[in-house]
Amino acid sequence: MKLEFVIEGMDFTRAGEAAAKIKKALQLVGMEVETVRKSVIVAYEAEMNIVIHARSGTLTARVYPDRVEIEAADEGPGIPDISLALQEGYSTAPPHIREMGFGAGMGLPNIQRSSDELHIDSKVGIGTKLTSTIMNRTSGV
């Protein structure tokens, strides 16, 4: 199963809808609760990163019996130093974004923590592509 969504930069009204739809789809196909929880964190944080930082992008979820792959590809400023961006508390979000409860520098660290595998490719001035894999582990294993 593949779900794909176009995400517009700075569209805070619709932001989060794609992640919510991914959650519903994962629940419908019977993925494990923990897989759904982690996938939602990755999808939502990745979606918000596009909304906050990029001009536009796509959020794609590919669902397999043993895993979920979430890809967020955007046209935006890119990330000059990925290891710095992965540090908890590091953020480049402006003050008006912080006032909305974002920009605490936890987005990428949360994505990393919830992913079994994470790849980030970024070119400054062009955009960023993030691919996360979440394994669908059976409860209790």
List contacts with another protein (CB under 8 A).
12-13, 15-17, 19-20, 23, 40-41, 44-45, 48, 100-102, 104, 106-107, 110, 113-114
- Residue 51 CB, shortest distance to another protein, in Å, is 9
- Residue 19 CB, shortest distance to another protein, in Å, is 7
Structure tokens at 16: 């989060």
Q: At residue 87, what is the residue type?
A: Q
Structure tokens at 82: 């990925």
7 or 40: CB nearest another protein: 40
Strands (E), the chain: 2-8, 56-64, 67-75, 117-123, 127-135
- Residue 101 CB, shortest distance to another protein, in Å, is 4
Distance CA 45, CA 68 (A): 16
